[in-house]
Amino acid sequence: MGRGGSAGTLAGPEGHGALDVVLEGLRRLEYRGYDSAGVAVITGNGIESRKKSGKLTNLLDELQANPLPESLTGIGHTRWATHGGPTDRNAHPHLADGGKLAVIHNGIIENFAELKRTLSAQGVEFVSETDTEVAAALIGELFRGEAGGDLTRAMQLACQRLEGAFTLLAIHRDQPDTVVAARRNSPLVVGLGDGENFLGSDVSGFIDFTRRAVELGQDQIVTITPDSFEVTDFNGKPAQGREFQVDWDAAAAEKGGFASFMEKEINDQPEAVAQTLLGRAGLDGKLQLDELRIDPSQLKAVDKIIVLACGTSAYAGQVAKYAIEHWCRIPVEVELSHEFRYRDPIVNANTLVVAISQSGETMDTLMAARYAQEQGAKVLAICNTNGSTIPREADAVLYTHAGPEIAVASTKAFLAQITAAYLLGLYLGQLRGNLFTGQIRDILADLAKVPAKIQTVLDDSDQVKKLARTMADTRSVLFLGRHVGFPVAMEGALKLKELAYIHAEGFAAGELKHGPIALIEEGQPVFVIVPSPRGRNSLHAKVVSNIQEIRARGAKTIVIAEEGDTAVQAYAEHVFYIPETPTLLAPLLATVPLQVFACELATAKGYDVDQPRNLAKSVTVE
């Protein structure tokens, strides 16, 4: 399983060598982040493969030491490990059918454990801990059996039995002029060359060889030969891909056509949340957090949770605090990692420490987690980077699946961290009996609707961008929020600071009259995150009165409110609406306009939004 990139090629005699094409494709796909890489080609000896953990250079060294013969058919993969560590053995391709079949895969096969049991019972032996090898074995068994030696048919039959998200590429020794690929909830495009054809996770995988591409739809399979490609659905019914001309340059292709990784990652957020949610509930509706390696009895004994994190990750913890306390009735303290161990904290064996870190390498958080462990606490890491130090040293890990976050300022990881923390809260609620299965199912159903709602906010963000461009000369912006809107206000302020170098500050709206309202003067822009007007204990009226207080003193109010909340219009220069959603899930939507605003304003100022001044993506010093 992996989240990196896949590349495949098939050439006629006058085409490019398979290995050159695949390695160039993997190099182009490096930006997607990965922690192992591998290739497989079809030669006179059948399938030959090389794969290594670590960076592409390790694979190139291996190929130098153990060269592969020339070939016209090949596949390659950079793996961003999620389940199963970044090792040589877990790297792709995975072989099956006695080494005659090679398969690479991006995504998550949700039912791989069940399939593995069935295949093992049929005598299939596995050498890795990945779901990909299970998919390869399934394709191999079907190729030899029901598919009668037809690789396309074997892929169709296999995909009918796979659940989850996957891009699969397969080659078989017995069909040397064919590469077969399939996609569900994971990207795959075809490149059409002259006497040769290509496959890639995105066009950057083959942009050096052709700009004619075919985008495949959901649940489609493509079979390529040197001079043909054929698309079907999973049942073998002929289907159509969408042909287009790639007009990006290679650099743009790596950013998915966006001008920056920051913009790409803001737009990756529906997928980041969806992938983090994927495969978490069993068929009985109960949550299953496979990688959570803490004994349930110890989790039941937990009487306090301390969240350790820095920056945006700390704000994710602050959002999660509201939900976890509400669902589990356990006190949650959110601590800045760099403050934690210097205040002689109260930590013991019944304390669960949750270390939230996108990079998994933040030294402040690592040192704080180590201190907590020395005090007897169990540490659970919520992390986006498989194999990094914090999850490696933790007692348990819950990975976010946002994919690599390249831009220094965190966006998609933030939403994924909140999502993962909510899954933890629901799991604890399920384990401790605070939540019934039906309640968990309802909340998971609401969470499952969030990716589409984020997309709606993204699709409606032109007005936010337009406002941002008019405010390029602004010198200070304030952000107000209440309840879960308070950490959102602080995150919005942090984005503006990091990207546009503008003084910005987030406040709890109720705190205004205790001092900060002195900051309000004529024309002062203030973002206000307004809670939903629905529900019993609506804070809506209180926040509206906070808006009135600042408007009476000259503030220019920019309001984020729930669709249909027309009451705020009388108190706002600008209103940006977000779809209706339960209060605890609103941060996953309300944050997005603030990210877009900060990115657009910084762009209008001509700043590098991917690499802001003075900042590092991972602060590995205390």
Residue from 276, 410, 474, 603 touching ligand AGP (CB under 6 A): that is 410
Sign of the C-alpha dihedral, residues 295, 300, 304, 307?
A: positive
Positions in 341-370 near ligand AGP (CB under 6 A)? 357-359, 362, 365
Rg (CA), the chain: 25
- Rounded CA-CA distance 202/298 in Å is 44
The answer to whether residue 618 forms part of the interface with ligand AGP (CB under 6 A) is yes
Nearer of residues 270 and 311 to ligand AGP, judged by Cβ = 311
CB 418 within 8 A of CB 313: no
Binding track, positions 478-517, relative to ligand AGP; x by CB under 6 A: --------------------x-------------------
- Tell me the one-letter amino acid at 99: G
List the structure tokens of 539.
């804070």
- Report, in Å, the least distance between residue 358 CB and ligand AGP: 4
Q: How far is the CB of 362 from ligand AGP (least distance, A)?
A: 3
For residue 253, give the 3-state DSSP assignment.
Answer: helix
Q: Which residue lies nearer to ligand AGP by CB, 202 or 364? A: 364
Q: Report the residue number whose CB is nearest to ligand AGP.
A: 311
CB of 591: closest distance to ligand AGP in angstroms? Answer: 12
Q: Which lies closer to ligand AGP via its Cβ, residue 410 or residue 591?
A: 410
Question: Residues 307-346 vs ligand AGP: string with x where CB under 6 A?
Answer: ---xxxx---------------------------------
State which residue, 156 or 357, has the beta carbon closest to ligand AGP: 357
| Closer Cβ to ligand AGP, 491 or 565, answer by number | 491
Q: Least distance to ligand AGP from the beta carbon of 497, Å?
A: 9
Q: How far is the CB of 498 from ligand AGP (least distance, A)?
A: 5
Q: How many residues of this chain interact with ligand AGP, rule: CB under 6 A?
A: 15
Q: What is the amino acid identity at position 459?
A: D
Burial label, 74 (beta-carbon count in 10 A; 0-12, 13-18, 19+): buried
| C-alpha span between 51 and 91 (Å, rounded) | 6
Q: Within 204-223, which residues bind ligand AGP (CB under 6 A)?
A: none
Distance between CA atoms of residues 533 and 536, nearest Å: 9
Q: How far is the CB of 487 from ligand AGP (least distance, A)?
A: 13
- From the centroid of its chain, how far is CA 309? 19
Q: Please name the residues in contact with 83: beta carbons below 8 A apart, sequence gap of 6 or more.
A: 1, 108, 129, 130, 131, 290, 291
CB 529 within 8 A of CB 481: yes
Nearest approach in angstroms of CB 406 to ligand AGP is: 12
Strands 101-109 and 94-96: antiparallel
Stretch that binds ligand AGP, among 6-14, 280-288, 408-416, 585-593 (CB under 6 A): 408-416
Does 389 sit near ligand AGP (CB under 6 A)?
no
- For residues 100 and 47, is the Cβ–Cβ distance under 8 A? yes
Nearer to ligand AGP, 367 or 517 (CB): 367
Minimum CB–partner distance for residue 48 and ligand AGP (Å): 39
**CB proximity list for 444: less than 8 A, separation 6 or greater:** 277, 280, 281, 285, 287, 426
Alpha carbon 31 to chain centroid, angstroms: 14
C-alpha to C-alpha distance for 328 and 320, rounded to whole angstroms:
12
Q: Which is nearer to ligand AGP, 214 or 262 (CB)?
A: 262
252 lines the binding site for ligand AGP (CB under 6 A): no
- Site residues, ligand AGP (CB under 6 A): 310-313, 357-359, 362, 365, 408-410, 498, 618-619
